Amino acid sequence: MELKYEFYIDAQPEKVWNTLMSPEGTRKIFYGCVIRSTFQEGDRYEYVGPGNDGDETVHVYGSILKYELYKELSCTEHPGPSYRANHAELETRVTFTLETVGNCTKLTLINDQWSDNHPSYTDTEKHWWMILSNVKTLAETGKTLDFGW
């Protein structure tokens, strides 16, 4: 199973990257969460923000597989402990890549290597469209979309 998304964004790779990685960007596109990590290959990362366990809820976590500034982030991903008792068994891989195309940035997201019977596949398939649409809108306009939540 593989989820693949491609977006062309009217912004330079650095701006798109900062939308995906900076605390200011992630709070807006990842439901109030920030990424905590050293971003060294092999190190842990966490998306932390408001949720089931209060303001410090770990929504997803995993290990950094590859990190190349303004170009690629690849990591394993597990749901946070408050979502699934068997969170450590549920794993996928998420890879963001950025490339310059003319005066735009092509953002490609591949979410693959799903563990067997992963219960989050269907919800994830729906939510990536919304998150990535918000990345595009935020990078281009400085605003996010209102999904009515």
- Along the 149 residues of the chain, how does pLDDT read in single tens digits? 899 999 999 999 999 999 999 999 999 999 899 999 999 999 999 999 998 888 899 999 999 999 999 999 999 999 999 999 999 999 999 999 999 999 999 999 999 999 998 999 989 999 999 999 999 999 999 999 998 86
Q: Does a structural domain hold residue 80?
A: yes
Asked if the structure places residue 135 within a domain, the reply is yes
Spatial CB neighbours of 111, under 8 Å, sequence gap ≥ 6: 2, 3, 4, 77, 92, 93, 94, 95, 124, 128
The answer to whether residue 146 is domain-embedded is no
Residue 42, by phi and psi: left (phi above 0), alpha (psi -120 to 50) or beta? left
Q: In this structure, is residue 10 part of a structural domain?
A: yes
Q: What's residue 1's pLDDT?
A: 86
d(CA 18, CA 27) in angstroms, rounded, equals: 12
Q: Which domain holds residue 13?
A: 3-140
Predicted local distance difference test score (pLDDT) of residue 142? 96
pTM of the model as a whole: 0.93
Say which CATH number the domain at 14 has: 3.30.530.20
In a domain, 113, yes or no: yes
Instruction: With respect to residue 53, please indicate whether it lies within any of the assigned structural domains.
Output: yes
* 134 in a structural domain: yes
Query: In total, how many domains does the chain have?
Result: 1
